Amino acid sequence: MGNPVVCFGELLLRLTPPASQLMVQADSLELHPGGAEGNVAVALASLGHTVRFAGLVSDNPLGDRAVAALRGAGVDTRFLARAAGRMGLYFMEDGAGPRPSMITYDRAGSAFAEAYPAAINFDGALDGARLFHTGGITPALGPKGVALAKAAQSAALAAGIPICFDGNYRGALWSSWDSNPGAILRELVADATILIGNHRDISLLLAREFSGDGADRRREAAEAAFAAFPKLELIASTARHLVTSDHHRIAARVDSRRAAHQTDEIDVTGIVERIGTGDAFAAGVIHAWLEGGDERAMAEAGLALTALKHTIPGDMSLVNRTTLESFSASGGDVRR
């Protein structure tokens, strides 16, 4: 519907032992396509929005599997370049009870991480776009990732398209090279209209801590970010309290320069999948923003979509508009 949202980042494949097994026990692995920006693209397309994906992926059967996941959800992949090279992978052991999930990356030297900006047609992808969504994982991949991130955002700025930036801080990626994540992310967030990130992300960007607790601390952080980044109009975040691996309590918040709304905390129980829930939150916020929603509408849509994503196996949210609009935190009986 309407002008497209353009998402940019690396597509990945996740390999996971079945039934919450440890990797040392596994004789087989389940495969799930993913990647933060690809997850957002699929979630928005599932809600009926027009979405394009820009990036580069391996020109081999593993890349084919990732591309098929986007196309199957209705995402336009005409501007997803293909090149020789390896596919980015990550392995995850599912947590259970008191045992947390564990992720091991195997994405160094992937075709995307080694790509040069000229390989991706950013201008074509952004033609007529309404919003450009990207985030902090691409620059975390190394100097070439930083160059890709800067080129993508420069193209969006030149085209006059607002940027939604998801901080998505990944310490394991940043620590693998001689990086300065605060300085790099600060330069990129300076271009953004929407920031998906909480007070900890803002602390990293501004190299300062925030006092207080709860809503007061989040508003203090938001006001500091608005003061530091003149282009920034919205900040969206979640607060998550882990009871067990399959019982979390989650609230959502959206701050603008003039107002803020924080939802009540809801219980999310019987969790099927944790991966991709933050991307679903981002997609819910963007969905409401595209439809002209206020701070409350964006926070509630983000919270609803992230809660629903916890019930769906795999990295990607396939929730449609009807399911999102009929969301109830208490669940319900079978719909007939």
The predicted-structure confidence for 273-291, as pLDDT tens digits, reads as follows 999 999 999 999 999 999 9
Question: What percentage of the chain reaches a pLDDT higher than 70?
Answer: 97
Share of the chain above pLDDT 90, in %: 90
334: confidence class by pLDDT, cuts 50, 70, 90: very low
**Count of beta carbons in the 10 Å neighbourhood of residue 241:** 11
User: What integer pLDDT is reported at residue 214 of this predicted model?
Assistant: 84
Backbone phi and psi for residue 76, each to the nearest 5 degrees, phi listed first: -75, 115
Q: What's the gap between Cα 297 and its chain centre?
A: 19
Domain boundaries, the chain: 36-55+121-325
Q: Which residue has the higher pLDDT, 100 or 153?
A: 153
Collapsing DSSP to helix, strand or coil, 296 comes out as: helix
Contact between 310 and 319 under an 8 Å Cβ cutoff? The reply is no
Q: For residue 260, give every residue at least 6 positions away whose Cβ sits within 8 Å of its Cβ, in sequence order, or none.
A: 215, 218, 219, 222, 253, 254, 295
Q: Distance between CA atoms of 83 and 72, rounded to whole angstroms?
A: 21
Give yes or no for residue 185 having a pLDDT over 80. yes
Q: Return the half-sphere exposure (C-beta side, CA atoms, 13 A cut-off) of residue 214.
A: 8
Per the listing, tokens 């997803």 go with: 80
Average pLDDT over residues 187-193: 98
- DSSP-derived letter for residue 227 is H
For CA atoms 93, 99, 101, 102, give the dihedral sign: negative
Domain 36-55+121-325: which topology?
Answer: UDP-N-acetylmuramoyl-L-alanine:D-glutamate ligase (3.40.1190)
Beta bridge partners of 256: 234
N-terminal to C-terminal alpha carbon distance within the chain: 28
Question: Which residues does residue 106 pair with via DSSP β-bridges, in sequence order?
Answer: 89
Dump pLDDT digits (tens) for 69-103: 999 999 999 999 999 999 999 999 988 878 888 99
pTM attached to this predicted model: 0.96
pLDDT in tens, 195-229: 999 999 999 999 999 987 788 999 999 999 999 99
